[in-house]
Amino acid sequence: MKIQNQTLASWIMQCMLVGILLFSFSCKPKVTEVKKLSDDERMEWWRDARFGMFIHWGAYAIPGGERNGEICGGGAEWAMDKLDYTIEDYEKEVTAKFNPTEFDADAWVAMAKDAGMKYIVLTTKHHDGFCLWDSKVTDYDIMEASPFKRDIVKELSEACKKGGIKFCFYHSIVDWHHPQAQAPLYPNYNAGQKDQTVVNPEFPKYYENYLKPMVKELLTNYGDIGVVWFDGDWIADYTTEMGKELYKTIREIQPNTIVNNRVDKGRMGMEGMDKEGNFAGDFGTPEQEIPATGIDSDWEACMTMNGSWGYKPSDEHWKSNEVLIQHLVDIVSKGGNFLLNIGPDAQGLFPPESVERLKAMGEWTKVNGEAIYGAKASPYDCPEWGRYTRKETAIFAHVFDWPEDGVLRVNSDVKIESASLLASPDQKLEVKKDSTGISIVLPESAPDAYASVVKINLLK
């Protein structure tokens, strides 16, 4: 009987052990084997995408660049610095009131997709230090410091996944809220760290115990991250060693993630490309400007629709649809990507002016996307009538100025098999060759007011 009891007891123990094992396996998140890609393979989706949406969103949407009747110059996301909030004022008047109940991640993704954008870069933390995700590293986040208590990064990353858009995140190295990120002699939040000789001895602690763990958290809890987009690289406290280490850390967690060049110290100001030297980062980041000519490396021009990254209702200097569409073409013709910004309001809605522009870009990309996605830089100088982009078997002539005589003069090197407008692909256009060069006979009026695209199939 004793023996039988012992056998029964050990059998029960064994069953319990197996049960515990099975339970713990079923609770573990599925780990998918990640194949480490070569650099070209890793960059492929991004090089093909060409067009993405930048979203500058945070509690700064509440003041919208205005405080007590004063309007700040430049970007409204700098309100904390420019409108002289103390940290306490900002927490009370701004972050504690951030409750964007109209936020609908699926609607944002749908608008990006309809515009023809292939990826979204969201500001997870801007210079004001407020975090849009449920962070275990800080309480200064959407769950603890604001009444909203919804993890915005989770909602948007999931909506992106569902919608087939790459989710990417922006993260500021500068932090005007964290005590260790302030240069002690500069109570003005280390905003621009105007005197680069002043050293903040606390900054390495902020880097090690705050910035790095946050980046790790974002890379671990929100699925595949397309791009990590740093900003605030200019402060002297942040070093090239930190940048290189951060880059390595990111690639260790998600080997195929792409990282912008502001992770290191190589950026040449707003021009955005790397200085000579050994710097970490996968692409250059010209800001509010487009290089004059093509550049033989990866780059992405980021740009606002009006003059502000964050929501700023007083700024009515909206770029026209024509300018935005022609910027997209210009950038792709020079081998770059276009990251176009939206500054949602404090309720979580895109400003109507932005929605209107996104729609116009969507109408254009629906007809002419073939000349953008997967297209490469023009092999020729800019023609006077517009721009060229190219693919393996075709050249695309983007005509900004429709020729009055109805004849498009193209580069004399182009070996044309046939030509047609992307707006009416079944209608072949007449191609003429004479002593003056090669020309394509166009219909009387342009199918698109801003950029009509002629696809030139090349002779094999």
* Closest distance to ligand FHN from the beta carbon of 113 (Å): 23
Q: Is residue 132 a contact point for ligand FHN (CB under 6 A)?
A: no
* Closest distance to ligand FHN from the beta carbon of 255 (Å): 26
Binding to ligand FHN by CB under 6 A, coded x per residue (else -) over 18-57, reads ----------------------------------------
Residue with smaller CB distance to ligand FHN, 95 or 378: 95
- Pull the structure tokens for residue 369: 């996307």
Q: Is residue 77 a contact point for ligand FHN (CB under 6 A)?
A: yes
Q: Is residue 302 a contact point for ligand FHN (CB under 6 A)?
A: yes
Buried b (16+ CB within 10 A) or exposed e, 238-253: bebebbbbbbeebbee
Point out which span in 21-29, 72-80, 149-157, 403-411 binds ligand FHN (CB under 6 A). Answer: 72-80
* Closest distance to ligand FHN from the beta carbon of 300 (Å): 10
Q: Is residue 287 a contact point for ligand FHN (CB under 6 A)?
A: yes
How many CB atoms are closer than 10 A to CB 323? 15
Point out which span in 75-83, 152-160, 193-201, 237-245 binds ligand FHN (CB under 6 A). Answer: 75-83
Q: Is residue 231 a contact point for ligand FHN (CB under 6 A)?
A: yes
Q: Which pairs count as long-range contacts for 198-202, CB under 8 Å and 24+ apart, including other chains?
A: 198/236, 199/236, 199/237, 200/237
- Pull the structure tokens for residue 48: 């093909």
Point out which span in 74-82, 199-207, 363-371, 435-443 binds ligand FHN (CB under 6 A). Answer: 74-82
Listed residue (152, 34, 164, 145) closest to 100, CA to CA: 152
* Closest distance to ligand FHN from the beta carbon of 285 (Å): 7
Determine the angle formed by the axes of helices 240-253 and 212-221, rounding to 10 degrees: 20
Per-residue DSSP letters for 132-172? SS--SS-SSBTTTTSS----HHHHHHHHHHHHT-EEEEEEE
Q: Is residue 309 a contact point for ligand FHN (CB under 6 A)?
A: yes
Residue with smaller CB distance to ligand FHN, 236 or 416: 236
* # residues near ligand FHN by CB under 6 A: 7
Query: At which residue do the structure tokens 């606390």 appear?
Result: 202
Residue with smaller CB distance to ligand FHN, 301 or 408: 301
Q: Coil, strand or helix: which one is 437? A: strand
* Closest distance to ligand FHN from the beta carbon of 14 (Å): 59
Residues near 225 by Cβ (< 8 Å), separated by ≥ 6?
A: 167, 168, 169, 218, 219, 254, 257
Residue with smaller CB distance to ligand FHN, 65 or 386: 65
Element (H, E) at 301: strand 300-303
Per-residue DSSP letters for 372-412? TTT-B--SSPPPTTEEEEE-SSEEEEEESS--TTSEEEE-T
Point out which span in 29-37, 70-78, 383-391, 419-427 binds ligand FHN (CB under 6 A). Answer: 70-78
Binding residues vs ligand FHN (CB under 6 A): 75, 77-78, 231, 287, 302, 309
